[in-house]
Amino acid sequence: MVLTAGIADSLTFGDNTNMTKQLLVSSAVQAALMNAFLLAEIRTGFWKDQRPVTHGQAWEGVEVVVSTTNQVGPAGEWKPARFYDFLNPEFTKLHEAKLVEIAKTVKPAMTFKALKKELIELARIIGGRMTDKTQEPARVYRGNNRSDFDVIRTVERQKVLTVAGAKANIDAAVANVKKTAVKKVTTATPVTDAIRGLTVKKKAAAPEDGVTVSKTAAGATVRRVAVKTAVKA
């Protein structure tokens, strides 16, 4: 581990019980970033004017400590007043080089791509999403500083709640929809019955020359052929 004198002095390792206000981080890189740069950006820099207006005061007297156990996050009688997105594009666009420079004092081969993982984890630690190095980060929502906020810590439970919530919303929506009965169409309709009752009259063929067609009283058809006149010799 290579450290400059100033940043090396800012790192603290210990049993995590010396101070009443500590932030337990998971790596020396995170501690160097907080002490050498991010604390100042939170209180008087990039996040200075963000809500709540007193969020910077919560950091007064906080010691950043590299945790020697699996526990990470705020320790003692204090709590950050807001979440800080250290990968905010507006922030990293201005300070990417500075962040990498500080990280390289701890890990000389550090790149910004690798540094992103450290910044993401650090933001989760400060925001309360990560309290143990060995556990998956908890999923939180906006307004996670409410006293009644319930943190969902497992992906499986979140899926169950999501499906159950969606089903409840669908059931509630369907309950308010007016149901309309649909009459089943059958083959025996007035239209088809009328068609079946129709009598199709066939047009009689034109009589042949010399043939007379007539009907008797009984309805029989009689064809009479005219007698041709004999030709005299």
Q: In which domain, by residue range, is 147 found?
A: 138-170
Q: Provide the pLDDT for residue 191.
A: 59
Is 67:12 a contact under the CB 8 Å cutoff?
A: no
Q: Provide the pLDDT for residue 186.
A: 58
Q: Provide the pLDDT for residue 220.
A: 76
Give counts: helices (H), strands (E), the chain. Answer: 7, 5
Q: Which residues pair with 224 in a beta bridge?
A: 212
Is 67:16 a contact under the CB 8 Å cutoff?
A: yes
Q: Is residue 111 part of a domain?
A: yes
Q: Which residues pair with 24 in a beta bridge?
A: 65, 73
Of 119, 146, 170, the last residue of a domain is 170
Using the CB atoms, write b or e for 11-22: b if 16+ within 10 Å: bbeeebeebebb
Same-domain pairing of 146 and 158: yes
Same-domain pairing of 21 and 92: yes
Q: Among 14-18, 46-50, 91-95, 221-225, whose mean pLDDT is lowest?
A: 14-18
Whether residue 10 has pLDDT greater than 70: no
Alpha helices in the chain (DSSP H): 5-10, 28-33, 39-43, 89-104, 112-126, 155-175, 190-197
Same-domain pairing of 131 and 29: yes
Q: Is residue 198 part of a domain?
A: no
Q: Is residue 216 part of a domain?
A: no
Same-domain pairing of 88 and 162: no
Question: Helix, strand, or coil here: 208?
Answer: coil
Amino acid identity for residue 150 in this structure: D
Whether residue 227 has pLDDT greater than 50: yes
Per-residue model confidence as pLDDT tens digits over 40-77: 999 998 999 888 988 989 999 999 999 999 999 999 88
Tokens of 188: 């025996």
* 3 vs 222: which has the higher pLDDT: 222
Same-domain pairing of 14 and 111: yes
Whether residue 14 has pLDDT greater than 60: no
Q: Is residue 21 part of a domain?
A: yes
Q: Is residue 223 part of a domain?
A: no
Domain count, the chain: 2
Same-domain pairing of 12 and 115: yes
Per-residue model confidence as pLDDT tens digits over 164-219: 667 777 887 777 776 666 666 555 556 556 666 666 566 666 656 677 777 777 77
Same-domain pairing of 58 and 128: yes
Q: Provide the pLDDT for residue 46.
A: 92
Same-domain pairing of 10 and 46: yes
Same-domain pairing of 108 and 144: no
Contacting residues for 32 by C-beta, under 8 A, at least 6 apart? 3, 7, 10, 11, 102, 103, 105, 106
Same-domain pairing of 82 and 22: yes
Whether residue 9 has pLDDT greater than 60: no
Cα end-to-end span (Å), the chain:
145
Q: Provide the pLDDT for residue 150.
A: 47
Tokens of 32: 């160097």
Q: Is residue 89 part of a domain?
A: yes
Q: Is residue 149 part of a domain?
A: yes
Whether residue 133 has pLDDT greater than 50: yes
Q: Is the dihedral of CA 40, 45, 46, 50 positive or negative?
A: positive
* 168 vs 100: which has the higher pLDDT: 100
Per the prediction, the chain carries an average pLDDT of 77
Q: Is residue 218 part of a domain?
A: no
* 158 vs 23: which has the higher pLDDT: 23
Same-domain pairing of 60 and 99: yes
Same-domain pairing of 112 and 156: no
Strands lying side by side in the sheet with 63-66: 63-66, 21-25, 73-76
- Rounded Cα distance between 222 and 219, Å, is 9
Tokens of 109: 């081969």
Whether residue 153 has pLDDT greater than 60: no
